[in-house]
Chain A
Amino acid sequence: MEDAALTPASVAGPPDTDDLIACPKCDALYVVHVPKSGERAVCTRCHHVLIAPKAGAVVRVATLSLTVLILLVGAAFFPFLEIRVQGFRNASSVFDAALAFSGPRMVGLSIAVAALIILIPMLRAILTLYVVTPIIADRTPFPGAARCFRLAEELRPWSMAEIFVIGVGVALVKVADLARIEFGPAFWMFGALVVLTVFQDVSMCRWTIWHELDSRARRAGIRLT
């Protein structure tokens, strides 16, 4: 991957602020120069990737979000793991795992786990679709698109499906000599989901989406916020 050089802005006479970009991590100021598809514009001071456009990335983000959404619904309710010991058996879905913390003090934890592994990833997929669909269709952004995209970004660290999958691995080892475990369909759905989520995060250039939203809103003469 090629890194394109960005020109630091002069302190003395800044041009129009629309042509500038400030690194969100270290505040270094540059003149916007959109690199070629596949290249990245990187902050020369802190090496944060500022702009990384890829051809067809927006369409890919949308299809991945849609797939993630479908898989999540399936993964939440289909049996996830099944355990057998001496004639006793118990199948549990991801939803059951989220609701495992019962009792008055643990209810909050149940809600939190459900949110972290199902609800927040689902919400992020829906928000992303809401934001990028008009860009793909070459239309003006939907109302509140900026707020939705900001929320989706804010929720990113709180979407923990991939961590849950590693947790499943550890749990399996813990019960391995206690019982026989069988994988349900939801287990494989969740596995696929994790790979897709990583792909989605990698292929999305945030700056490009913000820029698209902004320029489309301007052309239509509406305000984003």
Chain B
Amino acid sequence: MSAPQHTPTAQDAGLIGCTVCAKVWPRGTEFCGRCGEPLRSRDTRSLSRVWAYWIAGWFCYVPANLYPMLRTQMLQSDQASTIVGGAIDLYAHGAAGVALIVLVASVAIPIAKFVAIAYLAISVRRGWQTSGHRRMQLYEFVEFIGRWSMIDVFVVAILSALVQLSVVASIHPGPAALTFALSVVLTMMSARSFDSRMIWDSLEQDSAPEEASPADAPIPEGPSA
């Protein structure tokens, strides 16, 4: 028996798998009869949507770093700080750990996310043969980590609500809070538009070789209880 070339997919079998509930339908079925999700063997416009959200997200991310996120008014001072400026302030106050959290969540993660999504989209388009498993892990990581960039928006919300002490001290949100929140949402939508099944379609050989050839494996009676 030869090594497996390709794990049989629903597409190979002339079927469509539902991406929400995993149920399988004959090709041509429009909606999943179990969960109601529109069925597509492959989402052909997936990449266009990925790039549209990606570009929109980038357009929001740039001003988010240039404009102030917070305005702090104290008795004598009135100070506006950007994302990076806020992290530097934290570091100057001796809270290096928290400064690091802010930097990772609002600078490192968003930029890594932009790079990772672009890499995945290009790799699928060009049919690169990089390990499917590796790219799948990257995709799941992007999906998991994306939401955490909202930390800074929440910090601004909490501070603005809490620190309202008339003349002594008050904190107000800056314009960057809005554009930053938008950029997080848009990159989340970009990642969600990506159809991860395309990663595996472009591979000529699955990366996890197993001894027995799945295509020759017997089909037991499926206990569908």
A-side residues, CB < 8 A to B, are 7-11, 13-15, 17-29, 31-34, 44-47, 50, 81, 83, 85-86, 88-90, 92, 96-101, 105-106, 108-109, 112-113, 116-117, 146-147, 149-150, 153, 157-158, 160, 163-164, 166-171, 173-179, 206-207, 210, 213-214, 223-225
| 8 CB-based A-B contacts, threshold 8 Å | A23-B22, A28-B7, A29-B17, A33-B220, A47-B133, A146-B36, A167-B158, A210-B21
Q: Is there contact, CB below 8 Å, between A90 and B224? A: no
Main SS at interface, chain A:
mixed
In the complex, what residue of chain B is closest to A83 when comparing beta carbons? B162
Q: Which of B151-201 contact A (CB under 8 A)?
A: 151-166, 168-169, 173, 175, 177-178, 181, 185, 188, 192, 196-197, 199-201
* Complex interface: chain B residues within 8 A of A105 (CB): 175, 178
The 0/1 profile, CB within 8 Å of A marked 1, for residues 138-157 of chain B is: 00000100111011111111
Bound Cα distance A147, B164 (Å): 43
* Complex interface: chain B residues within 8 A of A210 (CB): 21-23, 34-35
Bound Cα distance A216, B86 (Å): 55
* Complex interface: chain A residues within 8 A of B214 (CB): 7-8, 44
Q: Is there contact, CB below 8 Å, between B22 and A9? A: no
Give min CB distance, B173 to chain A, whole Å: 5
Q: Is there contact, CB below 8 Å, between A113 and B178? A: no
* Complex interface: chain A residues within 8 A of B19 (CB): 24
Q: Is there contact, CB below 8 Å, between B36 and A225? A: yes
Main SS at interface, chain B:
mixed
* Complex interface: chain A residues within 8 A of B98 (CB): 169-170, 173-174
* Complex interface: chain A residues within 8 A of B220 (CB): 7, 31, 33
Residue among B153, B196, B215, B224 making CB contact with A26, cutoff 8 Å = B196
* Complex interface: chain B residues within 8 A of A86 (CB): 168
Bound Cα distance A99, B157 (Å): 8
Give min CB distance, A29 to chain B, whole Å: 5
Q: Is there contact, CB below 8 Å, between A29 and B224? A: no
Q: Is there contact, CB below 8 Å, between B224 and A100? A: no
Q: Is there contact, CB below 8 Å, between A150 and B162? A: no
Residue among A7, A109, A116, A153 making CB contact with B219, cutoff 8 Å = A7
Q: Is there contact, CB below 8 Å, between A225 and B151? A: no
Bound Cα distance A151, B143 (Å): 18
